[in-house]
Amino acid sequence: LAKTTQPISMDSYEGQEVNITCSHNNIATNDYITWYQQFPSQGPRFIIQGYKTKVTNEVASLFIPADRKSSTLSLPRVSLSDTAVYYCLVGDTGRRALTFGSGTRLQVQP
Amino acid sequence: GAVVSQHPSWVICKSGTSVKIECRSLDFQATTMFWYRQFPKQSLMLMATSNEGSKATYEQGVEKDKFLINHASLTLSTLTVTSAHPEDSSFYICSAPGETQETQYFGPGTRLLVL
């Protein structure tokens, strides 16, 4: 899996939009970009996945520029319950074991 | 969506004893499952790949005789921590590829505390 780089931590307030950017300069042509969310003492949870341009679901949006060397996870109007660690992974994340980076620890305050 | 369960959710044991952790895919079959370990404030680290009907493959540095993996059916993989020591205390998480092959589904994790 391609190596990823993302901020170690971010702080936000309730109601704000949070954007977490992940760099993946060595992404391969067939690689997908996948984001997971992990709450303390729980297993990671799939948030969103994309290949190019923009993907949106009920939880988040994923923006991927044309060169695909980075991606941005956008969480609209965060709440306290969005406090978690967010992991960006790149590759064939379905069938193969995942290599987790350090993730981004998001702290949402009232 | 697909669900992966783990049992127990937490366990406390004495040093030297063995502990078995179960990972089940509840509504889908998984010929492959993955086992991860996570220490406090750290990321998930892959321990081994569990393969139904064959031997597990272990990551470098993971003792296969200490962490026994058995994938006896298409819905169950077990991880047995043998002769557990306090340094084995950690959060153990399993995952399985989903039917769509686009993502993986993670279990809720098992917290192990060895006294």
How many interface pairs between A and B have CB atoms less than 8 angstroms apart?
56
Of A36, A41, A87, the CB nearest to B109: A41
Does pLDDT of A1 surpass 60?
A: no
Distance from CA of B34 to the nearest CA of A (A): 6
Number of H helices, E strands in chain B: 0, 11
> pLDDT tens for residues B57-76?
999 999 999 999 999 899 99
Of B43, B49, B102, the CB nearest to A94: B102
Residue type, position B5, single letter: S
Structure confidence at residue A47 as a pLDDT band (50, 70, 90): very high
**What is the bridge-based pairing of β-strands B76-81 and B19-25?**
antiparallel
Q: What is the pLDDT of residue B100?
A: 62
Q: What is the pLDDT of residue B77?
A: 96
> pLDDT tens for residues B24-47?
999 888 899 999 999 999 999 999
Q: What is the pLDDT of residue A98?
A: 83
Say if the Cβ atoms of B102 and A41 lie within 8 Å.
no
Percent of chain B with pLDDT over 90: 81
Give dist(CA A82, CA A15) in Å, integer.
11
Contact list, B34 vs chain A (CB under 8 Å): 97-98
Q: What is the pLDDT of residue A97?
A: 82
Does pLDDT of A16 surpass 60?
A: yes
Distance from CA of A13 to the nearest CA of B (A): 22
Structure confidence at residue A69 as a pLDDT band (50, 70, 90): very high
Give dist(CA A98, CA B35) in Å, integer.
10
Stretch A86-105: mean pLDDT: 86
Stretch B82-104: mean pLDDT: 87
Does pLDDT of B95 surpass 80?
A: yes
Give dist(CA B83, CA B78) in Å, integer.
16
Chain B residue with Cα closest to A86: B43
Stretch A44-65: mean pLDDT: 94
Chain B residue with Cα closest to A89: B103
Number of H helices, E strands in chain A: 0, 9
- Point out which residues pair with B75 in neighbouring strands: none
Residue type, position A91, single letter: G
Contact list, A41 vs chain B (CB under 8 Å): 91, 109, 111
Q: What is the pLDDT of residue B60?
A: 94
Structure confidence at residue A105 as a pLDDT band (50, 70, 90): very high
Hey, what are A82's tokens?
A: 């969005």
- Average pLDDT of chain A is 93
Give dist(CA A41, CA A47) in Å, integer.
17
Q: What is the pLDDT of residue B99?
A: 64
B105 contacts chain A (CB < 8 A)? yes
Hey, what are B95's tokens?
A: 């995952």
